[in-house]
Amino acid sequence: MLLFSLLKSKSWRTHKVTNFPVFLSRENDLESVQEEYFNPRLAEEEFNEDEDFSDDSSDDETDFDIDFEFSELDSSDRSRVETFIRKTCGCTLGVEEKPCSSTFLLEDIIDCRNNCAELESSELDLVILVIVQSAINCDEVSSSGRKETKRQWTRVTLSFHGHRICLKTFLFMHRLHKTRFYSLVKHYRKNGLTLRMHGNTKQLPSSAFSVETVERVIKFIMNVAEDQALLLPGHVPGFKRIDVKLLPSSLTKCKLWKMYHDASTAAGHVAVGYSKFCDLWKQLCPFILIMRPASDLCWTCQKNNNQILKSANLPEK
């Protein structure tokens, strides 16, 4: 307001003409200040935002028009479903005695197959057992008129989304084989709604050796170590264990296994293989090792070490 009062004052109007250019420049400066700080300005950013919004909308429209590419696995499974629907299952359980596979949409069958593929084997077994529980006819005796006979085949009425389907369509939609489905039905009739367990669960495999055979292997390794192993006092360089027993480097595990195999065969006992012999050695006798060529002792040191071992249990005299 102070600036406006100066501009409108009489002193400025009655000023000398010689000073007119100076006041004119001041007037221009004041007008620029007025336009900069006091006059309402149009928000340029709003126009820019409108322009950007129009561009973004066009970009969004183009983004929604992009087609998604399926992977090779998805495309192959989709083509397999399309082939199944085109060839149909061949039954007459659908509407107007048409195949039941023609009553479902392509996406419904694909979703069912994908859901079953994501499940583990035990989870899929439980799902099929629940379906069998609701669809099976557990009556073991079939009555027709006055005659009652023992039922030889189990009757299972399968359905999907309220529509009855045949066994072929059911197996295809749930990624099952006929043998697995029949074994699940047999398991349900015998054990009810429980998960299946493999026959070898909590049992030793047929290739497992007896305790006596394992004990003979360990006894053979220990006897060889007592006869030929070197017990060096203190920590042995290159070996982490303190109680290590070092066999001479001239011996190998293959040679020792051949000696063990020949002795067991001559005695009429069962002999383990070479790989099992090495595994038992590593698991039960890790302190018995074979010297590395670089850590082997010379003949003088070996004789001195043998004398120390022989004098271990002798009296001081």
Residue 33 has pLDDT above 50, yes or no: yes
Which residues in 253-289 are b (16+ Cβ under 10 Å) and which e? eeebbeebeeebeeeeeebbeeebbeebbeeeeeebb
Give long-range contacts, CB 8 A cutoff, 24+ apart: 102-107: 103/163, 104/160, 104/161, 104/163, 106/78, 106/81, 106/82
Residue 1 has pLDDT above 70, yes or no: no
Residues 239 and 290 in one domain: yes
Query: Is residue 305 a part of any domain in this protein?
Result: yes
Residues 171 and 229 in one domain: no
Q: How many residues does the chain have?
A: 317
Tokens standing for 147? 């005659």
Residues 115 and 164 in one domain: yes
Average confidence (pLDDT) over 250-273: 91
User: For residue 92, what pLDDT band results from cuts at 50, 70 and 90?
Assistant: confident
The segment with the largest mean pLDDT, out of 111-115, 154-158, 287-291, is: 111-115
User: For residue 189, what pLDDT band results from cuts at 50, 70 and 90?
Assistant: confident
> Whose structure tokens read 């009739």?
189
Return the CATH number at 303. Answer: 1.10.10
pTM comes to: 0.45
> Mapping DSSP to helix (H, G, I), strand (E, B) and coil, where does residue 247 land?
strand
Tokens standing for 204? 């030793």
Residues 265 and 180 in one domain: no
Query: Is residue 78 a part of any domain in this protein?
Result: no
Residue 23 has pLDDT above 50, yes or no: no
Q: What pLDDT does 299 receive?
A: 67
Q: What pLDDT does 35 receive?
A: 67
DSSP 200: T
Residues 240 and 268 in one domain: yes
Which residues in 59-97 are b (16+ Cβ under 10 Å) and which e? eeeeeeeeeeeeeeeeeebbeebeebeeeebebebbeee
Residues 100 and 184 in one domain: yes
- Based on the structure, what is the number of domains in the chain? 3
Query: Is residue 83 a part of any domain in this protein?
Result: no
Q: Within 10 A of 160 (CB to CB), how many other CB atoms are there?
A: 18
Residue 136 has pLDDT above 60, yes or no: yes
Query: Is residue 233 a part of any domain in this protein?
Result: yes
Residues 215 and 304 in one domain: yes
Q: Within 10 A of 247 (CB to CB), how many other CB atoms are there?
A: 20
DSSP 38: T
Dmax (CA) of the chain = 141
Average pLDDT, the chain: 75
Residues 187 and 215 in one domain: no
What domain range is 239 assigned to? 211-309
d(CA 127, CA 98): 28
Query: Is residue 229 a part of any domain in this protein?
Result: yes
Phi, psi of 225 (to 5 degrees): -65, -40
Give long-range contacts, CB 8 A cutoff, 24+ apart: 22-29: none
Query: Is residue 201 a part of any domain in this protein?
Result: no
Residues 100 and 22 in one domain: no
Average confidence (pLDDT) over 299-313: 68
Query: Is residue 249 a part of any domain in this protein?
Result: yes
DSSP 230: B
Residue 21 has pLDDT above 80, yes or no: no
Better pLDDT: 54 or 119:
119
Query: Is residue 131 a part of any domain in this protein?
Result: yes
Residues 109 and 166 in one domain: yes
Residues 184 and 215 in one domain: no
Better pLDDT: 18 or 314:
314
Residues 165 and 229 in one domain: no
Q: What pLDDT does 250 receive?
A: 80
User: For residue 242, what pLDDT band results from cuts at 50, 70 and 90?
Assistant: low
Kindly give the residue spans of alpha helices, DSSP state H, lying in the chain.
2-8, 10-13, 20-37, 44-64, 72-87, 106-118, 121-135, 167-173, 178-191, 211-228, 253-267, 274-284, 299-310
Residue 120: exposure state from Cβ atoms within 10 A (0-12, 13-18, ≥19): exposed
